[in-house]
Each structure stands twice: as structure tokens, then as C-alpha cells.
């Protein structure tokens, strides 16, 4: 939950690229207004909003990876 002051939110799972993380505020997907740090790190990272989300809003960080086989057998 956002408190209106906090602008950084951590995620404890790995992602390969910034685009692999879906950021939502109150269920609405956000496409701008933040930067993702830690892409490629196995310990996760953080999302830093340019402006803190309004107090009482639910901030959700969700890994969104495309599962695909990269080799043929």
C-alpha cells in the first residue's frame, strides 16, 4: 500500500529485462512515471516512481515473462 511519501518499491524475484515487470496502481497497468532497477539481478530490484503514488493505493509488481522454447529438437 502506498503512503503518499514512499516512491521506491522492491520486488524479490528476478527479471531479465525491464519490460518483464508489470507495474499496477489500484489494478491499472502503468506504462510510464517510473524506472525499474535490478533487471538481470537474481535477487530482484526496485521500482522508483517519479512521483509517489497517492496514499491508500495498492501498488502491485508482477513478473510477466513470455514462456517459449528457444531450441528445436
Residue 70 lies in a domain: no
Cell of 71: 531450441
Residue 13 lies in a domain: yes
67 pLDDT band (50/70/90 cuts)?
confident
Residue 3 lies in a domain: no
21 pLDDT band (50/70/90 cuts)?
very high
Residue 1 lies in a domain: no
Cβ proximity of 21 and 47 under 8 Å: yes
Q: The pTM is what?
A: 0.84
Q: How many domains does the chain have?
A: 1
Q: How far apart are the first and last CA of the chain?
A: 46
- Name residue 45's beta-bridge partners: 11
* Structural domain for 58, as ranges: 8-63
Cβ proximity of 10 and 45 under 8 Å: yes
Residue 2 lies in a domain: no
Q: Report CA Rg, the chain.
A: 14
**pLDDT tens for each residue of 28-46:** 999 999 999 999 999 999 9
Q: Which residue has the higher pLDDT, 26 or 71?
A: 26
Amino acid at each position: 500500500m502506498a503512503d503518499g511519501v514512499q516512491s521506491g518499491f522492491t520486488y524479490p524475484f528476478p527479471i531479465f529485462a525491464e519490460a518483464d515487470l508489470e507495474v499496477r496502481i489500484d489494478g491499472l497497468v502503468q506504462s510510464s512515471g517510473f524506472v525499474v532497477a535490478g533487471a538481470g539481478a537474481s535477487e530482484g530490484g526496485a521500482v522508483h516512481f517519479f512521483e509517489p503514488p497517492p496514499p491508500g493505493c495498492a501498488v502491485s509488481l508482477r513478473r510477466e515473462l513470455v514462456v517459449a522454447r528457444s531450441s528445436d529438437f
